[in-house]
Amino acid sequence: MTGNFNIRNNDWDPNYPHHSAHTKDLLTLAESLGLDLSPPINPGPTRFADNPRDMNSVIDLAFINPNNSGFGQHSLHPELRRPSDHVPLIIEVSINKTNIDNSFWSISKDSEEEKNFIKAITNNILTLDTLNITSKENLETIVQ
């Protein structure tokens, strides 16, 4: 779970001197989903203030399942933020290499087998008795 939570708190922003009242709600929600706050491998601000008198802040957070080894820590990429004032958060997701065996039957195009198959279908269609098609049910029986 990741995004702009707009919650400033000194638990994840050491430059912010207070705890937010909404922090407990956010952490309770994350815990109910089995998620923990993921500290970035390169901490820093995630939102750059438009006004030079305001402080940059950490309001974009990522929460991961600590028991899922497929998700690594996330990193901040301020060099990719333009034109946004928010820094992209990037997380690596491991995808295990797995071989999936597929098998299917096919007939090679323009082969003798294809010609024989088309001929057999054509002959079957030509031999259908269509004189007794008096209802949808009769048609279904003939087609089957």
Mean pLDDT to the nearest integer, 16-21: 85
pTM beyond 0.85, yes or no: no
Instruction: Kindly indicate the confidence band of residue 79, based on its pLDDT and cuts at 50, 70 and 90.
Output: very high
Mean pLDDT (the chain, rounded): 89
| Start-end of H helices in the chain | 23-32, 112-126, 136-143
Q: Are 49 and 73 in contact (CB under 8 A)?
A: no
Backbone angles phi, psi at 36, to 5 degrees: -120, 150
Q: What is the side-by-side strand order in the sheet with 36-37? A: 2-4, 60-64, 36-37
In the predicted model, is pLDDT for residue 130 greater than 90? no
Domain topology for 2-93: Deoxyribonuclease I; Chain A (3.60.10)
Mean pLDDT to the nearest integer, 6-16: 91
- Rounded to whole angstroms, the Cα distance separating 90 from 46 reads 12
| Start-end of H helices in 35-135 | 112-126
Confidence at residue 110, expressed as pLDDT on a 0 to 100 scale: 92
Domain ranges of the chain: 2-93, 112-143
- Rounded to whole angstroms, the Cα distance separating 91 from 113 reads 51
